[in-house]
Structure 1
Amino acid sequence: MIHTEKLIKKYGNKTALSIEGLTINKNEVIGLVGNNGAGKTTFLSLLLDLIQATEGSINIKETPVSKSEEWKKFTGSFLDDSFLVPFMTSFEYLEFVSKLHQWDKGDLDEFLEQTKSFYGDDFLTGKKMIKDLSKGNKNKTGILGALIGNPEIIILDEPFANLDPTSQQWLRLKIQKLAEDGVTAIVSSHDLQHVTGISSRIVMLEDGQIVKDVDNTESTLEELEAYFGAKISEETI
């Protein structure tokens, strides 16, 4: 489904990312973990062709992402507020995205009814522009936009941040349901409990390199907590 080969991204003399190779298969849920500066957002930005690789390649369905836009038709993503249109309301933005996917009003209405438990009763009825929304509601808007169009691939960066507990749980169950239906998901998160709760596989980055790539098991959360906990000394607390 997704394959990277000898992927390198440099900023001047600093290497932000260096991945020898990574293959992500259909209907896998990849939990991407690592501390700030580990290279997670750089990797996702390369995957979405938002920045250019210094070396190497990323292919989706055997096609380089930098040489074709075909993959965009079946890929939903939300990394940060820059994906949104600040002077639209949430409903206007979702309507805009739905039209890009050639949905009619009935398709959007059905989608919004099905996802109502995620965004709540009054989320889409207000006239606030996206730029004036809380961080949580901005995230909800972007996540909903990423789900429009029945994507085959979902890419989300810190999707659980600033969401209320009900919305977090809805999103966890939604991602798992999508994977059961054949969707491939890549979810970057600092929240180890959330990411191990949804993922079939964990990929850990450190200093721009993959240091762990394992199937998610019952012991994975404990192992991750021990790994990151080992970086803390008693003197720093």
Structure 2
Amino acid sequence: MIEIIDIQKRYGNQVALSIKKLEINKNELVGLVGNNGAGKTTLLSLILDLIAPTSGFVTSKSVKVSDTDAWKSYTGSFLNEGFLIPFLNPVEYLSFIGRLHGINETDVLGFLEENKLFFDINVFSEKYIRELSAGNKNKVGILASILSKPEFLILDEPFSNLDPSSQSWLKSKLKDLSKEGVTVIISSHDLKHVTEICSRILLLEEGRIVKDANTSNETLIELEKYFEI
């Protein structure tokens, strides 16, 4: 579904990312792991055409993402709170996202009702997004990313600032989406969460993929050992 060919991203003389070839297949649930500065967010940003590669290209369904906006109709994403609109309340923001995808407000409210165990909109309906905690901003962004029932979903550090119950809900939701045929890429510093739900792990170090393997019972132990100081 996603193919990365000869991608390199440089900032001056510094190589932030360098990948010869990478394929993400339909229906995979892929976890990106690595220390800060390893290139995880850079990779996700290149896939979403948020930044331009120094060289190489990314395709989605065999079409370069830089050549068309067609992929946006079936792609959901949330990388950080910069995706949000701070002067709207959560319902207004999600309704705005819904309109972009042809979803009416009644269906948006129904979607929120279905997912109220993750984020109870009634508790926060009068607050602007800028007034929410980091965890609740994250929840709004995650819900916005899945509102349109995307074929392809990208989340950067989705478990960050979430309470344990919300983390558990999100893990179940991501596994359910994968079972429904959604291709998912998440990055996370939480090795336990990633290895619990992802079918494939990509380990990045200094902008390069140093390990690409299907998840097994030994994966968590291997990753914890890799990151030991």
* Bin of the TM-score, shorter chain as denominator length: over 0.9
Offset of 1:91 from its aligned partner?
A: 1.1
- Quick check: 2:39–2:205 contact (8 Å CA) kept in 1? yes
Determine the structure 2 residue equivalent to 1:185.
Answer: 184
Distance 1:152 1:78 in 2: 15
With over 3 angstroms needed to count, the CA separation of the structure-2 counterparts of 1:75 and 1:121, relative to structure 1, is closer
Which deviations, in whole Å up to 9, do the C-alpha atoms of 1:85-136 show, x marking residues without a partner?
01111111001001111011232122111111111364442x2211121100
Task: Give runs of aligned pairs for residues 33-112 of structure 1, distance below 5 A.
Answer: 33-112=33-112
Q: Which runs of 4+ in 1 moved over 6 A?
A: none
**Distance (Å, rounded) in 1 between the aligned partners of 2:123 and 2:137:** 11
- Provide, for residues 151-191 of structure 1, a one-character-per-residue CA deviation record: whole Å limited to 9, x for no partner: 00110000001011111111100000000010000000000
**Could you state the TM-score of these two structures normalised by the residue count of structure 1?**
0.95
Distance 1:64 1:103 in 2: 27
Would you say 1:221 and 2:220 are equivalent positions?
A: yes
* Structure 1 residue aligned with 2:32: 32
Q: Any residues of structure 2 matched to 1:145-164 within 5 Å, and which?
A: 145-164=144-163
Question: In structure 2, what is the Cα distance between the partners aligned to 1:106 and 1:31?
Answer: 34
Aligned equivalents of 1:166 and 1:91: distance in 2? 22
Distance in 1 of aligned mates of 2:76 and 2:121? 24
SS at structure 1 position matched to 2:117:
helix
- In the aligned structure 2, how far is the partner of 1:18 from the partner of 1:193? 27
User: Unmatched 5+ residue regions in structure 1?
Assistant: 233-237
RMSD: 0.9
**Residue number in structure 2 paired with 1:235:** none
Q: 3-state SS of the aligned residue for 1:7?
A: strand
Q: Which amino acid aligns with 1:69?
A: D
Mapped to 1, the partners of 2:190 and 2:43 lie a distance apart of 18
**Which letter maps to 1:108?**
V
Maintained 8 Å contact 2:2/2:60 = yes
Distance 1:54 1:147, change over 3 A: same
Task: Quote the residue 1:22 is aligned against.
Answer: 22
Gaps of 5+ in 2: none
In structure 2, distance between residues paired with 1:46 and 1:32: 14
Provide the aligned length of Structure 1 versus Structure 2.
229
Q: Distance in 1 between matches of 2:65 and 2:109?
A: 32
Report sequence identity in percent.
54
Return the alpha-carbon distance in structure 1 between the equivalents of residues 195 and 24 of structure 2.
17
Q: Are the counterparts in 1 of residues 32 and 186 from structure 2 also a CA contact under 8 Å? A: yes
- Once structures 1 and 2 are overlaid, which stretch shifts more, 107-116 or 186-195? 107-116
Look up the match of 2:204: 205
**What displacement does 1:80 show?**
0.3
SS of match in other structure, 1:185: strand
* Alignment partner of 1:175 is 2:141: no
Equivalent in the alignment of 2:141: 142
C-alpha distance in 1, partners of 2:144/2:170?
Answer: 13
Cα distance, 1:146 vs structure 2: 0.2
CA 1:2–1:200: 2 relative to 1, 3 Å: same
